[in-house]
Amino acid sequence: MNNYSLTLESVSKIFGRRLVFKDISLQMSNGNVYGISGCNGSGKSTLAKIIAGLISPSSGKITHLYNDKKIEPEYLHDYLGFVSPYLFLYDEFTAEENLYHFAKIRGIKINNSKVDNLFKLFNLSDRKKDILKGYSSGMKQRMKFIFALQHSPQLLIFDEPTSNLDNAGKEAVYKLLEEERKNNLVIIASNEEVDLSFCSSVIDVEKFKIV
């Protein structure tokens, strides 16, 4: 099993004069699924982005550890798989080309066996040589999971993971969650009850605002 953990210490975020959340402290470790809940605009995605290192907190500290060694921010992407509605792939490239080019840019090694299994899981095996411009929104959402897991990351952050998915797509995501939670640290930002039912604990961002 991977030994991945992260700690949030008094993390706060302010945009201009608007407080998003204040003093969030958490400890998370692999082998679990953690949830981030809250109504639309509550700050779920903001917290997910901060944990992923995509944006910085206004105050507070986040520490990522792998096998008890601190991961420096510039290397976090080697350990991270991120899925979100605001993540875009290149419509002009095929599914396979998207994976290849992003892996080359990021300097990561593709786990070809895992990628093949993911294409099968999300029922895209016969479409992986098609350009993404011809994909539906649901197919693109499925493709984002393959993109996020192509290098077998130890930290998985899924922001609104079942957005645009039909029932078959959602079932594929839930099957994926059951498998990935065994060894990795999984975080889900969502207000969907079914998504959050997979979580061992859920933090409600609404509770970290000053009224």
Mean pLDDT of 111-120: 93
What proportion of the chain, given as a percentage, has pLDDT over 90? 87
The pLDDT assigned to 211 comes to 56
Alpha helices of the chain — where are they, by DSSP H?
44-51, 95-106, 112-121, 137-149, 167-180, 193-196
Cβ count within 10 A of residue 72: 8
State the pLDDT at residue 109: 81
pLDDT digits over 58-88, tens only? 999 999 999 999 999 999 999 999 999 888 8
Question: From CA 150, how far away is CA 211, in angstroms rounded?
Answer: 42
Q: Please state, for a pLDDT cut of 70, what percent of the chain lies above it.
A: 99
At 32-61, the pLDDT tens digits run: 999 999 998 899 999 999 999 999 999 999
Domain around 116: 4-208
Using an 8 Å Cβ cutoff, are 199 and 36 in contact? no
Mean pLDDT of the chain: 94
HSE-CB at 161 with a 13 A cutoff on CA atoms is 30
In tens, the pLDDT along 117-133 reads 999 999 999 999 999 99
How confident is the model at residue 86, as a pLDDT?
Answer: 86
Distance CA 99, CA 148 (A): 9
CATH code of the domain covering residue 179: 3.40.50.300
CA–CA gap between residue 112 and residue 36 (Å, rounded): 31
Q: Write out pLDDT tens, residues 16-28.
A: 989 999 999 999 9
- Global confidence as pTM: 0.94
Domains held by the chain: number: 1
The pLDDT assigned to 1 comes to 58
* 168-179 average pLDDT score: 96
What CA–CA distances, in Å, run from 192 to 14, 32, 39, 80, 182?
A: 26, 18, 10, 23, 22
Q: Do the beta carbons of residue 58 and residue 32 sit within 8 Å?
A: no
